[in-house]
Structure 1
Amino acid sequence: MHYHFDFSFLYSSVGTLLDGLRVTLELAIAANVMGVVLGFLLCLIVMSRWAIVRWPAQLFIEFFRCTPALLQIVWFFYCIPMMVNVFVDPIVMGVLALGLNLTAFNAEAYRAGVQAVPKEHLDACVALGLKRRQRTLFVVLPQALRSAMPVLMTNGIGTLQQSALVAIVAVADLMYVGKSLATEAYRPLETFTIVALIYFALSFPIARLVHIIERRQDAAMQR
């Protein structure tokens, strides 16, 4: 069987693909902002000395880490509106589902970073009379963020790729637009090849940056 690739039909659909790409970027960026901020807050809760506070947070993390992201997205889109009887914009719901999933994974990355903070630094904070909030914001957070940065960025790439799952609930992201174009033109090979290359072009530079950061951290630790 000889298949002849023909990408010419996509020239008239560039605007549609760009619209889908815009939705994908909105989902990925908003979910990453949510995951980075809430992930650190959740990390602090999980590391609390109070079990009544710590256990629900740990359960939250385990739920999102141990259930498929696709199932979480479907549950958010169909179950929450049924429970609260309120319609929520699909983009907002997608950000919520992806962001909470990322929050759970980032919390574990932050926890590893917090545990890597030298005890001497915390002792110095006590000696200087810093309050708990000051110690967390100005000593623990910067060091934990630096240590966890490669993992946070890798998780961010994963969220960008997982954003394609919202296509199953008819959110007009890049994947959904690509699937529609492939169906209309009967050219799935060309369409999904272009879509895959777009995702690759977005993810590859970040992956290389993660590699550079990891090498610099390894070099710093060997000094």
Structure 2
Amino acid sequence: MDYILDLGAVTRNMDQLWQGLGVTLLLTLAANAIGIVAGFGLALLVLNRLAIIRIPAMLFVEFFRCTPALIQIVWFFYCVPMLFNVFLDPITMGILALGLNLTAFNAEAYRAAIQGVPREHLDAGIALGLSPAQRILNIVLPQALRNSVPVLLTNGIGIFQQSALVAIVGVADLMYQGKTLATETYRPIETFTVVALIYLAISFPVSQFVGWLERRRGYAVR
């Protein structure tokens, strides 16, 4: 094999990758903000006793959980403008696609956490005269959020990695910039290795933190 590695071709153009990383982090943070907030609301709808409310919410969850994220992203970018005459900038479309995907997965995490809230706590809220909204905000939400944090963080890492899929529709994220740089320098091995290391450098500490949280919760239960 005559191929000679030249990391300098990448390190000399790191500004391009940092710009892409900035877009990736923006997509990730915005999608997580949507997923954390909307996911809880969606979980409440899934647990609603009224079928007219519960069934559409369940269908929403199953659609986003059972179809590839790539298909969802492509659908948002090409079908939404055609069907609804809605034209948004690529980053906003990417945030919406990733955010709705994450909302569905977070809703399942919240649902399990909500069902784990002791009935006695809700009964105590009723005895104190709290309204349903007050019971949700003061009793259900704090416990559900605390119990689902490890899963929410894991889902957040997943959406950070899946954000690379927006490169296929021309969003200038880290993956897109890496692909562009690899084409310009004819150095795909070095470029995609560096890109992979950047993803790893961000994902690995978060995954270790999730593991630490789970171990801590395990000790607390004991």
Give the shorter-chain TM-score range. over 0.9
Give the gaps of 5 or more residues in structure 1.
none
Q: Is the counterpart of residue 116 in structure 1 residue 89 in structure 2?
A: no
Hey, what does 2:14 align to over in structure 1? Answer: 14
Q: Equivalents in 2 of 1:52, 1:171: separation in Å?
A: 37
Hey, what does 1:206 align to over in structure 2? Answer: 206
Q: Equivalents in 1 of 2:5, 2:146: separation in Å?
A: 46
Superposition pairs of residues 143-162 of structure 1, within 5 angstroms: 143-162=143-162
| 1:93 to partner: Cα distance | 0.2
Percentage of pairs with the same residue:
65
| 1:5 to partner: Cα distance | 1.3
| 1:2 to partner: Cα distance | 4.6
Residues 186-207 of structure 1: CA distance to partner in whole angstroms, max 9, x if unpaired?
A: 1100000000000001111110
Hey, what does 1:71 align to over in structure 2? Answer: 71
Q: Is the counterpart of residue 189 in structure 1 residue 189 in structure 2?
A: yes
Q: Equivalents in 1 of 2:128, 2:199: separation in Å?
A: 48
Aligned residue identity for 1:108: E
| 1:3 to partner: Cα distance | 3.2
| 1:213 to partner: Cα distance | 0.6
Hey, what does 1:94 align to over in structure 2? Answer: 94
| 1:119 to partner: Cα distance | 1.0
Residues 25-77 of structure 1: CA distance to partner in whole angstroms, max 9, x if unpaired?
A: 00000000000000000000111111000000000000000000000000000
Aligned residue identity for 1:102: L
Aligned residue identity for 1:106: N
Q: Equivalents in 2 of 1:87, 1:38: separation in Å?
A: 23
| 1:10 to partner: Cα distance | 1.7
Aligned residue-pair number: 222
Q: Is the counterpart of residue 133 in structure 1 residue 133 in structure 2?
A: yes
Q: Which moved more, 1:69-78 or 1:122-131?
A: 122-131
Q: Aligned Cα RMSD in Å?
A: 0.8
Q: Equivalents in 1 of 2:221, 2:40: separation in Å?
A: 24
Instruction: Give the TM-score normalised by the residue count of structure 2.
Output: 0.98
Aligned residue identity for 2:149: M
| 1:132 to partner: Cα distance | 0.7
Q: Equivalents in 2 of 1:41, 1:87: separation in Å?
A: 27
| 1:83 to partner: Cα distance | 1.1
Instruction: Give the TM-score normalised by the residue count of structure 1.
Output: 0.98
Residues 126-146 of structure 1: CA distance to partner in whole angstroms, max 9, x if unpaired?
A: 111111111101110110111
Q: Equivalents in 2 of 1:172, 1:107: separation in Å?
A: 29
Q: Equivalents in 1 of 2:149, 2:86: separation in Å?
A: 37
Structure 1: which 4+ aligned runs deviate by more than 6 Å?
none
Q: Equivalents in 1 of 2:159, 2:168: separation in Å?
A: 16
| 1:4 to partner: Cα distance | 2.0
Residues 59-106 of structure 1: CA distance to partner in whole angstroms, max 9, x if unpaired?
A: 000000000000000000000011122321000000000000000000
| 86 and 127 in structure 1: CA distance in 2 versus 1, 3 angstrom threshold | closer
Q: Equivalents in 2 of 1:105, 1:158: separation in Å?
A: 10
